[in-house]
Structure 1
């Protein structure tokens, strides 16, 4: 016997001795996970992403919640392509379906080759590799596994084969195997490198994926070489596989990262759901109250309409749909997505100025306090209201006044001056408390906003505003909104149910809004609905809020940057989107008008306006049946010839005031030190200040520049402090005042709230 032969036999005896001892030790320690079943392993799987599902289980959004590793969803074996399954078995364990966990033929070949220091593929089967993935004690170290680990791995593999089916072993392995970089499992690999689901992997892709199993971080050239061998194994010798351009394909695949951190049609809603779950273990799936078909339609409709508004400088929008009964959110579209430069900003929760959409709550409060009725006549005319910071001069969008109108017309046609006059009756502080009670958490007090609160100068979110309209739909009752199913709402009273009903009736009346929107506008639906539009200062925000019997829909369009839109009206901005979503919701579901609550009555009313001839009266509005809170009803509404306007008393007090400095023409309107606040609901170009003077008049100058002649003039206001003068033909100053204009882009600093400066000195003139 040669020396080499004796050395081989000694080595075999040592290996057998160690194996026997190891088997005994493995038998003692194996019980630690001997009870683990396939279902246990599958249930314990935690993807690195959370799936956000709709109310019926459809996938809405996928969001990565574990940054330490990238694991996809657990895939059933049937959801993995046959090419991938075949490539893995042929490459890693050809006798997988024949052995019982350990391929003794491969073990013998490996042991013999090791004696001769010959490199071989190794004898580790897929089952043995799976045992190593399941047991932390069997993880391969930098120097490989120890003899004890190998024995333990062998025993574990045989145990798995006795308790698990072959398909379960293969399925678990494909889901648990670490692949390139942070990727674990075939789902994550397939989505990342190939941008597709694992069931769609072809032979070439499967070959590359299989090559990564043995060397996850190998260079692309080496991976391509191994993938070529796998491809050849998949084909018989009569039809050899082509490996042309495989290296280029492999290099490209290894550089891809198509598996985004978030993907779907509800990214903002998903973030909100996960934000609400802070402090809890991130679940793999969350079922929400959203409706996937409605969400997709809402996204598509919003984007389609915004594409049509691109030429008007509009790029952002948001939409929310609420279930009236439960407060559940059925659709949540936070932005226009790829159309926006600020797609991450959630327009559903962002604070914006609501414009005229607050008016329904103001009129409801005034009715509940019995200050007005739906038939009360309000004057729509020029008004200048004295405030602690100056004069507040509200105007209508078209810069025209309608005269005396009913509260129904004033609200339906969204007239600004009657709304401000109604707020004078209610008071800004009381209206502020009403809005807070409706769930609009305004940052400042009512006195801070002043009378501009009637026109939406405060900031609210689309979600909170939509929920306030939901309160109108529910007869004045409200509850918190929710993105989750199963939560029973806790309803509370927020509005007088009688006033809520009457306001809803006005908002559903096409004739009430006809004077501004026409009788057949985009706001008219074939089913019962109530709706209100609004536009904030400088056309920065455009809204449409409304409800049907079952749903409340809120839409906002504008620019997340705050930049103004160009020529976007209430019916061209948000309203078409609102109408499209409402019609989608009611394709087959009817919507009926609410039943009148107890305490309201309907009586016929008529209106009259006195003429110069007392026997001839002209109707202010057509006869109609009108709703009233019981006890406030009357049948005739008219204006007395001697009726006075309390909103102009401040102007009367200014008449006859003379300056002792100069004789001749004197400026009577506005007064020295006037502060003009540009209306937040009207573009500045639609607002002008009227100057009036007594005497023969002359030329009007603002900041030294002539702009008009005569005893009256209109001036387009510009933010800042200005000197207004009236001179005679020789240029002698007859009178002068100073005023300040506040508006968009002007920051109120302490010096802007100080007392007005003295009048500018006039040049001496000889008369």
Structure 2
């Protein structure tokens, strides 16, 4: 029998010359995953690309534990290091056993098995191999042993051999079943893995029984204790468990990059991300969210997202799409999800007003109740704290994020032109400015964290809006100066000048002014850093979204927190939600990076200014050339009592429909009644037949229905009347219903 096999090997030997070399096999190896690399070549994320099999990276023999190498040889080929591809002693034993129908192990060596893995024609389709396949494997094994080293044969085998189910290669089985890299396999784990080769789909008990035999041959009989239970536990793990080397730092970013082209499995893409920055951003987000939800002060905030951009190139350095295990919707990418912008749009509004020379940073704006008639009713903006500051400068209005002055500014600019500016900055507005109306000043439009952060980067880059960069070829560590110069040139070509450098400088200076933001945030808040930075917060209606977007000289960082399902947060403001995360990330980024205040560009002048009536302290202010002034004063209101306008109701206008905001508690909302001029002596207000009060401006707690407001003189004569309607309030007590008469 052995003579027949040897003769056949001589005939089939020339066919073995088609077997590839070791280097060709290794180069053709493809993992079953896509691999996202950072800008320096470090692995960031693995995504499953091949559903038919699970293969890890190629494992060198040096990266495999000695225990597994010993278990493999003892289990599959005890004379591996002695034979030349075919174990003739094993062939003789197998032939004798087949003659007498005894159950003996076949004569397949590791080299012969490798031959079957390299050539599909030599790979058995059933449990038993045919004689022709055996002879073909033996011929190929002889050829392999003459051209490959023993360590190469062993290394290729342990990478190509299927173990169990979809698991191919030692890397996949080691990480999936045992949660560790092959270099860390101990004797017990090695024996179980080696036992799978003989019977990949056997029961856990049968695999444990065979593994125990291998352990005895290894001189480790004590490891058999409890082996059956351990095997049951190992093989009960879900089949879709993530492999341990599948770093999980940027899942949303990886899906975005690979879904764009769907490259073949094993493809690696070099991103612009920095693994260190990404890891730090992930840790900062999750740690801060945990702190916000400790027992006793839960804020009901589960989700968050972070983006870090390089100002000069637009390269994405960090992309954190969710809070991971803290989130009930971890697959949702918070970086690209549409959310209401809140007050984060105000810097662009003031930039446009300054560019159009409708305002300067020192111009005075009235932070007082404002009623704006619209097609759908009366628009009544409120400040975040429901208080009004009176006359303040545009600098203070922006830095302190006051709503009423922003709406007054939008009236100057117009919603239509402001919406066009936002679109030019790359924000995904789907409607015209007239659709949003005056609420656009307070961020009623939906935006993404990515587009919003990149729009702030435009302010940091002298008013130039340009696309972000997500991929690098080759890695940054291998790029030469010419490649970096080409990237910079491409950035300049793609840039669109939305604001001038002069306007961008002034707005950035306003956002960086910690004194100007004290009206709302105080001097000591997470918005203040130890280096120069400009930042803006924002909160959407009903506390559903909270933002902090800001930039230094080198980086722009955007943070969003909220809940993926839209549930409102509890007791979260601009400085208690996203701002602490923004602050911590900025501080880490600038541990070794300076961020000095920018130098004023030509076309900007600094002027000492003074406000009459001590509206604000005297200071120095930045102006565009031709707009500077040193004195700011309010026009004196006449104290005379004109005979006509003094008896006219200035607000609300006759026929107004007041639509109350459902996200503001009804008891916190007010409608202001006021006259057109000085308050007439002896005058008083009457609403729906009931005396209301006697002052030039009076706040009224609204309730639904149609109402009649009258201005009455001292003799009881009605001097002016308006009729208006309130919609949208919720009645919670019968007394209000009786008073309303509706």
Category of TM-score, reference length = shorter chain: 0.7 to 0.9
Deviation, structure 1 residue 179: 0.9
Q: CA RMSD in A?
A: 2.9
Distance 1:565 1:481 in 2: 31
Aligned-pair CA distance for 1:282 = 4.0
Would you say the 8 A contact 1:416–1:455 is kept in 2? yes
Q: Does 1:628 align with 2:614?
A: no
Q: Deviations over 1:275-326 (max 9, x none)?
A: 2333x33443322221222222211211122122221222211111101111
> Contact 2:611/2:633 (CA < 8 Å) preserved in 1?
yes
From 134, 149, 153, give the equivalent of 1:169. Answer: 153
The structure-2 alpha-carbon separation of the partners of 1:654 and 1:153, relative to structure 1 and needing over 3 Å to count, comes to farther
Among 670, 689, 698, which residue is 1:688 paired with?
670
Query: What residue number does 2:271 align with?
Result: 288
- Is 1:201 aligned to residue 185 of structure 2? yes
> Which residue is 1:581 aligned to?
585
The yes-or-no answer on 1:450 pairing with 2:437 is: yes
What is the CA-CA distance between 1:625 and the residue it aligns to?
A: 1.6
Correspondence 1:351 to 2:344: no
- Structure of greater Rg: 1
Q: Does 1:32 align with 2:14?
A: no
CA distance in 2, matches of 1:62, 1:291: 16
Q: Distance in 1 between matches of 2:300 and 2:131?
A: 72
1:251 is matched with: 232
Residues 437, 601 of structure 1: alpha-carbon distance in 2 compared, 3 angstrom cutoff: same
1:637 and 2:620 are equivalent in the alignment: no
Structure 1 position 444, deviation (Å)? 1.1
CA contact (8 A) 1:313 1:566 kept: yes
Is the 2:378–2:656 Cα contact (8 Å) retained in structure 1? no
Assess, with a 3 A threshold, how the Cα gap between structure 1 residues 717 and 94 changes in structure 2: closer, same or farther. farther
For residues 308 and 717 of structure 1, do their structure 2 counterparts lie closer, same or farther at Cα, with a shift above 3 Å needed? Answer: farther
CA contact (8 A) 1:193 1:255 kept: no
CA change 1:144–1:685 in 2 (3 A) is farther
Q: How has the CA–CA distance of structure 1 residues 521 and 141 changed in structure 2, closer, same or farther, with 3 Å as cutoff?
A: closer
Instruction: Report SS of the residue matched to 1:515.
Output: helix
- Mapped partners of 1:265, 1:58: distance in 2: 11
The one of 496, 501, 505 aligned to 1:497: 501
Corresponding residue SS for 1:119: coil
Report how far residue 499 of structure 1 moved: 0.8
DSSP-derived class of the 2:224 partner:
coil
Relative to structure 2, which stretch is displaced further, 393-402 or 669-678? 669-678
In structure 1, distance between residues paired with 2:665 and 2:61: 63
2:531 maps to 527
Between stretches 418-427 and 476-485, larger displacement belongs to 476-485
Q: Is the 8 A contact 2:309 2:315 kept in 1?
A: yes
Preserved CA contact (<8 Å) 2:658 2:724: no
2:205 corresponds to: 221
What's the CA shift for 1:31? Answer: 3.3
Cα offset, 1:194, TM superposition: 1.3
SS at match of 1:158: helix
Aligned 1:66-465 pairs, distance under 5 A: 66-142=50-126, 144-235=128-219, 240-257=221-238, 259-260=241-242, 263-278=247-262, 280-310=263-293, 311-465=298-452
Q: Contact 1:354–1:535 at 8 Å: present in 2 too?
A: yes
Structure-2 separation of matches of 1:512 and 1:282 = 54
Aligned length: 689
Change (3 A) 1:725 1:309: farther
What is the deviation of 1:511? 1.4
Deviations 1:158-198 (A, max 9, x none): 11111111111111111111111111111111112112221
Query: Is contact 1:557–1:574 with CA below 8 Å preserved after alignment?
Result: yes
| Structure 2 SS opposite 1:320 | strand
Of the candidates 29, 37, 41, which is equivalent to residue 25 of structure 2?
Answer: 41
In structure 1, distance between residues paired with 2:165 and 2:572: 51
The whole-number CA distance in structure 1 between the counterparts of 2:630 and 2:651 is 42
User: Where does residue 551 of structure 2 map in the other structure?
Assistant: 547
Contact 1:398 1:686 (C-alpha < 8 Å) held by counterparts: no
Conserved 8 A contact 2:709-2:723:
no
Question: Contact 1:678–1:741 at 8 Å: present in 2 too?
Answer: no
CA distance in 2, matches of 1:401, 1:492: 38
CA distance in 2, matches of 1:560, 1:54: 27
CA distance in structure 1 between the aligned counterparts of 2:317 and 2:372, rounded to whole angstroms: 43
Gap change, CA 1:293 and 1:241, over 3 Å in 2: same
8 A contact 1:68–1:182 mirrored in 2 = yes
Give the C-alpha shift of residue 357 in structure 1.
0.7
Find 1:515's aligned residue among 511, 514, 519.
519
Residue 655 of structure 1 and its aligned partner are, at CA, apart by: 6.0
SS in 1 for 2:163: coil
Q: Give the distance between the partners of 1:655 and 1:428, measured in 2 at CA.
A: 33
Quick check: 2:32–2:265 contact (8 Å CA) kept in 1? no
SS, match of residue 589 in structure 1: coil
Contact map agreement 2:662 2:728 (CA 8 A) in 1: no
Q: Give deviations 1:619-658, integer Å, cap 9, x for gaps.
A: 22222221111111122211111499xxxxxxx999648x
- Asked if structure 1 preserves the Cα contact closer than 8 Å seen for 2:371 and 2:651, the reply is no
- Cα distance in 2 for partners of 1:421, 1:354 equals 19
Match of 2:614 in 1: 619
Structure 1 residues 109 and 578: CA distance shift in structure 2, 3 A: same
Gaps of 5+ in 1: 1-11, 609-617, 645-651, 658-666, 728-733, 745-759
For residue 318 of structure 2, give the secondary structure of its aligned residue in structure 1.
strand
Distance 1:630 1:458 in 2: 33
1:569 equivalent in alignment to 2:573: yes
Shift of 1:514: 1.6
Residues in 2 aligned to 1:742 and 1:304: alpha-carbon distance in whole angstroms: 40
Cα distance in 1 for partners of 2:667, 2:42 equals 49
| Cα separation, partners in 2 of 1:686 and 1:288, compared to 1, 3 Å | farther
* Aligned position for 1:660: none
1:207 and 1:700 mapped to 2: Cα distance?
A: 90
In structure 2, the residue matched to 1:748 is: none
Deviation at 1:492, TM superposition (A): 2.6
Q: Distance in 2 between matches of 1:668 and 1:454?
A: 22
Kindly indicate whether the alpha-carbon contact (under 8 Å) linking 1:537 and 1:683 is maintained by their aligned counterparts in 2.
Answer: no
Q: Contact 1:393–1:679 at 8 Å: present in 2 too?
A: no
* Local SS of the residue matching 1:256: coil
- In 2 relative to 1, CA 428–692 (structure 1 residues): closer, same or farther, beyond 3 Å? closer
The Cα of 1:145 is off from its aligned counterpart by 2.8
Are the equivalent residues in 1 in contact too, given 2:314–2:466 (CA < 8 A)? yes
1:737 is displaced (CA, Å) by 5.1
Cα distance change, pair 373–538 in 1 and its aligned pair in 2 (3 A) = same
CA change 1:365–1:159 in 2 (3 A) is same
Q: CA deviation at 1:696?
A: 6.1
Distance in 2 between the 1:319 and 1:530 partners? 17
Cα distance per residue 1:603-634 (max 9 Å; x no partner): 212121xxxxxxxxx22222222111111112
1:347 positional shift: 0.9
- For residues 529-569 of structure 1, the C-alpha deviation after alignment (integer angstroms, 9 at most, x for no partner) is 11111111111111111000100011111111112112211
CA distance in structure 1 between the partners assigned to 2:182 and 2:702 by the alignment: 65
CA drift of 1:337 comes to 1.4
Q: CA–CA distance in 2 between the matches of 1:642 and 1:674?
A: 30
| Distance (whole Å) between structure 1 residues aligned to residue 265 and residue 406 of structure 2 | 49
